[in-house]
Amino acid sequence: MDKRLLLIFLAFIICTASIAQTKRKQKKIDKVIEQARAYIGTPYVYGGTSTSGLDCSGLIFNCYRAIDIRLPRTAEEQSKIGNTKSWGSIRPGDLVYFKFKEKRNKWYHSGLITAVNGDDIKFIHASSSRGVVESSLNTDYYKSNVKKFKRVIK
């Protein structure tokens, strides 16, 4: 076989495999976001992990379990998993972690990025006052308390 033809064939195989891998990754991201959206309206329950009530880390725990990724149960422990990303490189499916201080106590909160359209970034989370909702990350309250972003789906 001609070497040029062989190189073209190998490039085709590699490209095809890369496209298939990208499609599999996108399906996982879509499934995690779909799972999160199915919880919208679920009430907040500290330590909860069911449709009758859940907290922020329970939401993330359940959504990633739907694609067979086992995360730790708490937001603080979950925030140690995956690759850290910057504001400019986040995408849907990434996780956002917040660190708040209230009455000298630090507490962690987590959410799932659902859409990135320039500066308009949406995320789903379990709000202690509103239950599971989709919110804008660009509000001063959330934006100023972002601790980090993590990518679990590679």
Tell me what pLDDT residue 101 has.
67
Tell me what pLDDT residue 10 has.
66
Which is the catalytic residue, given 57, 62, 109, 112?
A: 109
The range of the structural domain enclosing residue 8 comes to 3-151
CATH assignment at residue 135: 3.90.1720.10
Which is the catalytic residue, given 56, 59, 124, 153?
A: 56
pLDDT tens-place string over residues 83-138: 999 999 999 999 999 887 665 556 688 999 999 998 899 999 999 899 999 999 99
- Asked about 73 being catalytic, the answer comes back as no
What percent of the chain shows pLDDT beyond 70? 86
Specify the range with the lowest mean pLDDT, choosing from 5-19, 97-111, 132-146.
5-19
Confidence of residue 11 (pLDDT cuts 50, 70, 90): low
- Asked about 109 being catalytic, the answer comes back as yes
Which is the catalytic residue, given 125, 126, 132, 152?
A: 125
Residues 6+ apart with CB under 8 A from 72: 61, 78, 80, 81
- Asked about 14 being catalytic, the answer comes back as no
Tell me what pLDDT residue 15 has.
66
pLDDT tens-place string over residues 51-90: 999 999 999 999 999 999 999 999 889 999 999 999 999 9
What's 69's DSSP letter? -
Number of domains observed in the structure of the chain: 1
The token duo for 88 is 């400019």
The C-alpha atoms of residue 59 and residue 35 are separated, in whole angstroms, by: 9
